Structure 1
Amino acid sequence: MKDKNILIIGASSGIGHALARQLQEQGATLFTAGRTQPEGIQSTHMTWDVTQTPAAEAFGQLPDILHGLVYCPGTINLKPFHRLTPDDYRHDFEVNVMGAIGAIHASYATIKKSRSASIVLFSTVAAKLGMGMHSSVSVAKSAVEGLTKSLAAELAPFNVRVNAIAPSLTDTPLAGFLLADDNKREAGNKRHPLNRYGTPEDIASMAAYLLTDQASWITGQIIGIDGGMGSLK
């Protein structure tokens, strides 16, 4: 990753922070965007709240050429359908889909210039499996999957790859309420064929791989990093 310029949106915690640490160790030049500067990460940071400010206004410090973009922000809004309001769906769509679209729009020219860039987005295993209480996030992440495939087709002539990672339950601050005590953690383990829930490093390692030249023939894919949940019974 040496001499590669990588933009990570949402690098202050969870998967994004784990990815930033990995890429920093590999020698990448990091640019980060989000509400707070990620601790322990050497990056050019651009303050951006995905729900408040257009990305084009915030991304003023991007380099002339960008080799990778990773959009990490997400939501977990688990409620029965009758308790989810239209505003809940709009908020989840705004953060998961429109935020990604805004970030890619604002970076579009610098990404195309590289002629070898990689864009990594995030879906969820719940977009593949029918899971109760997940309708809002499933709607938003299913849209992310559609965006991934359409952009992959459109940008392939420029040798820009677009893929999405679909995790299952991962130990991040966003999912902390699902792993709040020993009983919940044990239940989380048992839900997965590999008998454990995920770590940020599990997911970040795949994102890091998709940014490398080793993944240069991978595009338009939704990659399940989910302990087998999405494929095994």
Structure 2
Amino acid sequence: MGANSAIAQELIQLCVQSGQEVVAGGRNASVLEALYGQMEGVHILEVQACDSASVDKAFEQLADLDKQVDGYAHCVGSILVAPLIKTSDAQMDSVMQINLFSAMYGMRAFLKHAKANGQGGSAVLVSTCATGIGVPNHEAIAAAKAGLEGLARSAAATHASDNIRVNVVAPGLTDSPIASAFLKSDMMRAASSKQYPLQGVNQPLEVAQSMHWLLSDASNRITGTVLNVDGGFRNIRPLVK
């Protein structure tokens, strides 16, 4: 879900290279067609991630086509950097809808689908390093993504007996169109890089590789986990030299 995002594009490439069949879901079929129309093993599905009826219909279509989805990657998200006192109701609603409710809609549909098939599965959602440590001006997005992490942990507990695993990756700033406003000059890029103990910013492939591993059988003993792909931002403070 959210197959047009930079991370999703890398993840789909990894899946195809691994011989996996992929359904690329997104809100604009023409954009997906331009990205994946010539790629063997990728099926394009237009779906509105923030519309629960659209998400449910998409999974119904897959079931009608006898497509069994055993891995679900939720790559839908937005960024809002603003203090809460300057965040409007409309902005709050948008952040929650895009980052939390879309994940709830997608997960609900996937879990129903996986349970109906009875063969287990794996899901991975995308959070942010800003949920684990206070970052200025991230109130709305941190709240939404913290909710997403809670969703994943609870779903992992509920469905462990169904052999369905649910995990999260929590990236730091990633060099992608959604973050372009923070990386549009060399000075801004250098300042962002210095925020992380392992200096630099993520590349989409680095996040996608973590997601691909969590979806694969190589991580079949891991569920309910938040994997920080953030250069140590969330967990460590290096010596100041």
Structure 1 residues 24-43: aligned runs within 5 Å: 24-36=16-28, 37=32, 39-40=35-36, 41-42=39-40, 43=42
Secondary structure of the residue aligned to 2:173 is: coil
Residue number in structure 2 paired with 1:206 = 210
Q: For 1:131 and 1:82, how far apart are their aligned partners in 2? A: 15
Q: For 2:151 and 2:211, how far apart are their aligned partners in 1? A: 17
The answer to whether residue 59 in structure 2 is matched with residue 59 in structure 1 is yes
Q: For 1:58 and 1:27, how far apart are their aligned partners in 2? A: 23
The answer to whether residue 112 in structure 2 is matched with residue 109 in structure 1 is yes
Q: For 1:11 and 1:182, how far apart are their aligned partners in 2? A: 29
- Indicate if the aligned counterparts of 1:127 and 1:139 stay in contact, CA closer than 8 A: yes
Residue number in structure 2 paired with 1:172 = 176
The Cα shift of 1:105 comes to: 2.2
The answer to whether residue 23 in structure 2 is matched with residue 13 in structure 1 is no
Q: For 2:56 and 2:24, how far apart are their aligned partners in 1? A: 14
Q: For 2:182 and 2:129, how far apart are their aligned partners in 1? A: 15
Equivalent residue for 1:123, pick from 118, 122, 127: 127
Secondary structure of the residue aligned to 2:24 is: strand
Larger CA deviation: 198-207 vs 87-96: 87-96
Amino acid corresponding to residue 99 of structure 1 in structure 2: S
Amino acid corresponding to residue 183 of structure 1 in structure 2: M
Structure 1 residues 129-168: aligned runs within 5 Å: 129-168=133-172
Give the fraction of aligned pairs with identical amino acids, expressed as a percent. Answer: 30
The answer to whether residue 75 in structure 2 is matched with residue 76 in structure 1 is no
Residue number in structure 2 paired with 1:48 = 47
Q: For 2:85 and 2:145, how far apart are their aligned partners in 1? A: 20
Amino acid corresponding to residue 49 of structure 1 in structure 2: Q
Equivalent residue for 1:92, pick from 92, 95, 101: 95
The structure with the largest alpha-carbon Rg is: 2
- Indicate if the aligned counterparts of 1:163 and 1:222 stay in contact, CA closer than 8 A: yes
Q: For 1:52 and 1:209, how far apart are their aligned partners in 2? A: 29
Residue number in structure 2 paired with 1:192 = 196
Runs of 4+ in 1 over 6 A off after TM superposition: none
Q: For 1:199 and 1:106, how far apart are their aligned partners in 2? A: 30
- Indicate if the aligned counterparts of 2:5 and 2:75 stay in contact, CA closer than 8 A: no
The Cα shift of 1:29 comes to: 0.3
Q: Deviations 1:146-183 (Å, cap 9, x if unpaired)?
A: 10110000000011000011111001111111111111
Q: For 2:123 and 2:52, how far apart are their aligned partners in 1? A: 21
Secondary structure of the residue aligned to 2:61 is: coil
- Indicate if the aligned counterparts of 1:67 and 1:114 stay in contact, CA closer than 8 A: no
Residue number in structure 2 paired with 1:232 = 236
The number of equivalent residue pairs is 225
Q: For 1:111 and 1:192, how far apart are their aligned partners in 2? A: 38
Residue number in structure 2 paired with 1:6 = none
Q: For 1:192 and 1:216, how far apart are their aligned partners in 2? A: 30
Structure 1 unaligned regions, length at least 5: 1-8
- Indicate if the aligned counterparts of 1:148 and 1:164 stay in contact, CA closer than 8 A: yes
Q: Deviations 1:29-81 (Å, cap 9, x if unpaired)?
A: 00111123160444221112223562112334324421100000111011122
The Cα shift of 1:138 comes to: 0.5
Q: Deviations 1:74-120 (Å, cap 9, x if unpaired)?
A: 11011122110122122111111111111122233332225331010
Q: For 1:52 and 1:107, how far apart are their aligned partners in 2? A: 15
Q: Which has the higher helix share?
A: 2
Cα gap change, 1:130 to 1:123, in 2 (>3 Å): same
Q: For 1:143 and 1:52, how far apart are their aligned partners in 2? A: 18
